[in-house]
Amino acid sequence: MAKETLTEVIAVAETESAITKSKTSPLEWVAENGIFVFTALLILASVVFVDGFASLVNITDVFHRAAPIGIVAVGMTFVVISGNYLDLSVVAQVATSAVILIAVSNEYGLPLAMLAALLAAAVFGIVNGVAVGYFKANAVIVTLSTTYIGLGLLRYFSGGSIFFGPPDGLIREFGLGKLGPVPYSALVLLIMTIILGFVLNRTNFGFLVRSFGVNERATRLSGTNTAAVVIGAFLVTAVAAMVAGWVLAAFSNTAVSAMSQGYDFRALAAIIVGGTSVFGGKGSVLRTLVGVIFVSVLTNVLVLSGISFGYQQMALGALIVTAVTVDALSRKVAKR
């Protein structure tokens, strides 16, 4: 009964946007689908104008760039869509998962290592989820504090040392493996995108996550256990970060607590560029994937062109602002 009310609310919201969409101005269309077009254009331009971009080796490099951040980003999309801004603790989660994987598998074998990493991810997800979903605390501060706690624990227990996987182990094989120019890590990214996309769009849980982002109050009034929804969103992010940590560890066959620096904002940048709204409700996992590809290609092209780090950062910042300007402008046009 309450669920039907909720469905109505979502339906009304979607109808509204559908009505406005029926008079789609070009700007509107650009905002909605711009990222797909821009990404395609960027790839096209790079193939044509940038020497060496289209080579097999470079395509592999782009995939290597995209994979770990991308996996984190598609997972974190759940948190963003639910209207909870972002999950800063992915930094701690990725490093923890990488260190656990290599350190534990060296002593006790791979299955136990993966289980331990899963356990750590569960703890992160539940702590974050309970604080944000049940205690209704602000997600930015909560995940900031869990980052401190997580990194502190990691450094305390790992002593900050660098861990090495055996040169001929399964982990190394996975890291080196490729299907044509596509490394296994990129395949993992693709699979995760499909699975998470399915969860977000076709399951009840995904529906609740989206509705929570669209209209928090309505979702709560409909009697859903909103705390569970939020916990679920953070758990998804935690599991994604765990997988990303594995992929990262496999790529370099090493693990160290400092290896995941910057993952929080880089993942968020990819999500935003992809068109998911930071306000929640609007967006999709597919968009995040496209955003990741866009950012990875762009960075790759900048390095190929010999651009220094300072200018790279400026370009990334300008990109984020542009992406969102177009989005905001189009929404204004639509309102008229």
Partner 1 sequence: MRKSRIGLATAGLLAVAGLTLAGCATADEPAATDSGSTDSSDSATTGGETYEVYALLPQGNDQPYGTTYLPPMEAKAAELGINLTITNSEYDGDKQASECEVAVAAQPDGIILWPALADTIRPCLEAANAAGIPVWITNADVNPEDAPLTYGYSGTDSYGQGAASAEMMCELVDGAEVGIIQINGLTGNSVATLRGNGFKETIAANCPNVTILAEQPGNWNKDESQIAASEMLTAVGVENVQGMYAADDSMIAGGIDALKARGLDPKDFFITSIGNTFLGNPLVISGELDGTVFQSSSWDGENAVVGIYRAMTGDTSLGRDDDGSVLYMPNPKVTIDNATDPSVAPEW
Partner 2 sequence: MSQTMQIGERETSLWGRLRLTIARRTEGRGVVLLAAVLIVVAFTEPLVFTSYQVSLGRIALIGLVALGLTAVILMGELDLSVASTLAVSGVVVALIPDIRLGIIAALVVGVLIGVVNAFFVAIVGINSFIATLGMLFALRGLAFVLSDEAPVKITDVEAGIAFGQPLIGPITPRVLIFILAFIAIQVFVSRVKAGREFFAVGGNRQAAYDAGIPVKRRIFTGFMISGFVAALAGVINTLERTAADPTAGATVLLASFAAAIIGGNYLKGGRGSIVGTLIGATALGVLQVALTLSGVQVPIQQIFIGGILLLAVTTDPANLRAVLGSVRSLRLGRSKLQTPGSGS
Q: From the list partner 1, partner 2, none, pick the one residue 58 interacts with, judged by a Cβ distance below 5 to 8 Å according to partner type.
A: partner 1
Nearer of residues 190 and 315 to partner 2, judged by Cβ: 315
Helix (H) or strand (E) holding 124: helix 110-129
Q: How far apart are the first and last CA of the chain?
A: 36
Nearer of residues 245 and 281 to partner 1, judged by Cβ: 245
Nearer of residues 33 and 138 to partner 2, judged by Cβ: 138
Q: DSSP character for 162?
A: -
Q: Minimum CB separation from partner 1 for residue 257, in Å?
A: 6
- Nearest CA-CA partner of 67 in 188, 173, 175: 188
CA dist., res. 275 & res. 279, Å (int): 11
Q: Minimum CB separation from partner 2 for residue 15, in Å?
A: 22
Nearer of residues 30 and 304 to partner 1, judged by Cβ: 304
Query: Across the strands, what pairs with 254?
Result: 164
Rule CB under 8 A: which residues touch partner 2? 2, 85, 127, 131, 134-138, 140-142, 144-153, 155-156, 216-217, 220-221, 223, 265, 268-269, 272, 277-279, 308-321, 324-325, 327-329, 331-332
E strand spans, the chain:
163-164, 178-179, 182-183, 254-255
CA dist., res. 8 & res. 188, Å (int): 36
Q: Minimum CB separation from partner 1 for residue 113, in Å?
A: 19
Q: Minimum CB separation from partner 2 for residue 321, in Å?
A: 4
Nearer of residues 163 and 212 to partner 1, judged by Cβ: 163
Nearer of residues 130 and 303 to partner 1, judged by Cβ: 303
Q: Minimum CB separation from partner 1 for residue 215, in Å?
A: 35
* Burial label, 311 (beta-carbon count in 10 A; 0-12, 13-18, 19+): exposed
Q: Minimum CB separation from partner 1 for residue 155, in Å?
A: 4
Q: From the list partner 2, partner 1, none, pick the one residue 117 interacts with, judged by a Cβ distance below 5 to 8 Å according to partner type.
A: none
Rounded to the nearest angstrom, the gap between the alpha carbon of residue 29 and the centroid of all alpha carbons in its chain is 25
Nearer of residues 252 and 305 to partner 2, judged by Cβ: 305
Contacts of 265 (CB under 8 A, 6+ apart): none
Q: From the list partner 2, partner 1, none, pick the one residue 136 interacts with, judged by a Cβ distance below 5 to 8 Å according to partner type.
A: partner 2
Contacts of 191 (CB under 8 A, 6+ apart): none
CA angle, corner 242, sides to 101 and 165, nearest 5? Answer: 25
Rule CB under 8 A: which residues touch partner 1? 51-53, 55, 57-58, 60-61, 64-65, 68, 151, 155-156, 158-162, 164, 176, 248, 251-252, 254, 256-259, 261, 300, 303-306, 309-310
Q: From the list partner 1, partner 2, none, pick the one residue 314 interacts with, judged by a Cβ distance below 5 to 8 Å according to partner type.
A: partner 2
Q: Minimum CB separation from partner 2 for residue 246, in Å?
A: 24
State the maximum Cα–Cα separation within the chain, in Å, rounded to a whole number. 64
Q: From the list partner 1, partner 2, none, pick the one residue 126 interacts with, judged by a Cβ distance below 5 to 8 Å according to partner type.
A: none
Q: Minimum CB separation from partner 1 for residue 216, in Å?
A: 32
Q: From the list partner 1, partner 2, none, pick the one residue 55 interacts with, judged by a Cβ distance below 5 to 8 Å according to partner type.
A: partner 1
Write out the DSSP string of 207-242.
HHHHHHHH-HHHHHHTT--HHHHHHHHHHHHHHHHH
Contacts of 7 (CB under 8 A, 6+ apart): none
Nearer of residues 61 and 327 to partner 2, judged by Cβ: 327
